[in-house]
Amino acid sequence: MSISLVGLPGSGKTTVGRQLARRLRIPFVDSDHAIEARIGCSIREFFDREGESRFRDIEEEVLDTLSADVNCVLSTGGGAVLRPNNRHHLHSRGKVIYLKSTPEELFRRLRHDVSRPLLQVADPLSRMRELFSVRDPLYRETAHFVLETGRPSVATLVNMIVMQLELSGALPSADV
């Protein structure tokens, strides 16, 4: 069973994904790490040097490969849903969970994180709102399940995901 997590940067895809994979006893894969291994540098460096379009080409190739793995939890980059092929591959090859966070929550969570290029702008909250308005419909289109990440702990979110997967028949109840 392939399970992909989508959502804005900082929504918890990597943190929740690691815990979910541990709980299900399947591998965890972070698509950003796979992309960096492939390009041999940080995504930020590549983005600055080659541009967004070339980055999205590489991301699409990597996601095509990773989404074909039938036994993993896959954390995707926040912009993975921008390309129709990515949305199609993720949705058709496994279950997709959208970890939905409000721009205000994300801003509170990330305001001191200098490693996030998206927030290194004059008005990071406006930038998060802009990203949310463009990407929220794409996340919803891609996802089988939408989970609000506002208050629940990581453990609670993992439990909610497992319960959704069990109720949908994607996971046998006895498995977990």
- CB-side exposure of 26: number of CA atoms within 13 Å? 18
160 by Cβ neighbours in 10 Å (0-12 / 13-18 / 19+) ranks as middle
Annotated binding-site ranges for ATP = 10-15, 116
- Strand 2-6 relative to strand 95-100: parallel, antiparallel, unpaired? parallel
Annotated binding-site ranges for Mg(2+) = 14
Which 3 state secondary structure label does DSSP give 62?
Answer: helix
Contact 26, 73 (CB under 8 A): yes
Annotated binding-site ranges = 10-15, 32, 56, 78, 116, 135
Annotated binding-site ranges for substrate = 32, 56, 78, 135
